[in-house]
Amino acid sequence: MNDDTIDLFLAPADETAPVLPDGLDPAAARLADKPERDEHKLFVGAGDPDDLPSQRWAVIAADTPRGRTLVEQLQPLIEARQDQQGAPVQVFHAPAEALTRPAKARKWLNGVVKLLKDKDDPRYLTLLGGPDELPLTLERGIPGDRFPGRLAFAEPEHYRAYAERIAEIEVPKREGPAIHLHAVQDGSRAAGKAAAHLVTPLRDALKERAATTGLPKALHERGLLAAARAARGGVLLTTSHGAGAPRGGWADRASQLELQGALKLEMGSRIEAPAVAEGSWVEAGAWVAFACFSAGTPSRSALWHWIRRMNQEDNWQKPAESVLRSLPVEDSPGFIAALPQAALLNPLGPQVFIGHIDLAFELSFRDWAEEEQQPAHKPFYQLVDALAEGHRAGNAMATTLRKTVAELNAALVDDYNEEEDARQYGEPFEVRRRWRGFTWVRRQDLGGFILLGDPAARVG
């Protein structure tokens, strides 16, 4: 296996081979954007972050008739959280002007917070609706010391079904390890790297707390379906390619909504929404799915400018074109994938789903720079560990993946500032183009993970 490439976890929906079977030349990372200063806080606030009476739980919905309908459908869960926190649940209806850019979303959210007393300032924020109702710009504008999660289903009654299940859920007693790891092995370069640089290090670090499948020398030689059943009341992490556009493009939007983000398995098969809609599948637990578009597809990729620059370069034009096929066309709304929707509506399904709503590259978990202070897979170890230990899902996300995104962005901004200072004072400065490019891609990559489900859910 050649580690000196950047591999993508995306495969055409109608083929076995991945979109980029040979990966990308690492030099492509040098085309990355210059970062903007991230206003998110790097660390969470005071008090026990899992304590609802002190942290509070609130709902955000669009200021539309459907937004108000979704709030009504969520009442069983609203009432349950209200009882648990001992205070009324705040419901915020986001106006249209707050949904256009992250900066405007932050401004609106900060304005809302200022109207509340400190003790009523909620940190657990449940967003209602898909990206076509509450755009990802709003979610990305939520400060880093908050714990967001999103519920997005096709029909209003689906929100009530989920709310009733979570409000009354009793996490079953675990039988066996709390964490299950499954690496799909389809013979591709990307799948091999996920096994070697993510699943194997997690298995070695978690020891007896984890059961592993899909590796050549796995502790338990069982398939994904068995692993999903065994993860009852626990955590399942899977690595695979996500299904993207066929080589000829999607026949229609309905096909894309149905299949994009499905998990590609060995021998060309895949896990689609119907497969997780019934039967025990990570029952009452948490499912972390590493694959392109496993959580959904954005209206505009956070990697759009980078991919477009590659498309203008002769060396990378062909691979860039193959990736662009799966990204939305101009003005096309984003969407939540059918797979997590079906899993969350399954009466025997997970409480939360953590997946990618954009392109997923290996840089989010693979060590690639000598100056790294910690293994790149560590945020994923921290995430599954926090979930399995019973921390609320939103807190687990904020203190692992979201915190790492903020740290990476701060490192990039500092590096550019140091270059500018050196220029101003006429001092020498060595530009680390490879480091900048890889750090930027990793920041965008990790920033694509979102939490679907109630952020206050806990599985431990």
> Quick check: 343 and 281 in contact, CB under 8 A?
yes
Distance CA 58, CA 113 (A): 12
Which one-letter amino acid corresponds to residue 442? R
Instruction: Give which of 61, 59, 66 is closest to 80, Cα–Cα.
Output: 59
The CA distance from 358 to 149, in Å, is 17
Task: Note the pLDDT tens digit of each residue in 138-158.
Answer: 888 888 889 999 999 999 999
Tally of CB atoms within 10 A around 459: 29
Tell me what pLDDT residue 317 has: 67
Q: Coil, strand, or helix at residue 10?
A: strand
Question: Residue 221 has what pLDDT?
Answer: 41
- Write the DSSP assignment of 322-345 as a string of letters: HHHTTSPPTTPPPEE-HHHHHHHH
Rounded Cα–Cα distance for residues 197 and 63 (Å): 44
Domain 52-167 listed as CATH 3.30.70: no
pLDDT of residue 268: 74
Give the pLDDT confidence score for residue 320 in this predicted structure.
76
**Predicted local confidence at residue 381, as pLDDT:** 96
Average confidence (pLDDT) over 412-437: 89
Q: What is the pLDDT of residue 113?
A: 66
Residue with tokens 């109702």: 133
* DSSP codes joined into one string, 16-64: SS-SSTT-B-GGGGGGPPPPPPP-S-SS--SS-TT-HHHH-EEEEEESS
Model pLDDT for residues 181-227, shown as the tens digit of each residue: 999 988 899 999 999 999 999 999 999 999 888 776 544 445 888 89
Q: How is 120-151 classified by DSSP, letter by letter?
A: G---EEEEES-TTTS-HHHHHTS-TTSEEEEE
pLDDT tens digit string along 5-51?
A: 899 999 999 888 899 988 888 888 878 777 765 544 444 466 899 99
Torsion of CA 56, 59, 60, 65, to 10 degrees: -160
Instruction: List where CATH 3.40.50 sits in the chain.
Output: 52-167
DSSP 3-state of 352: strand
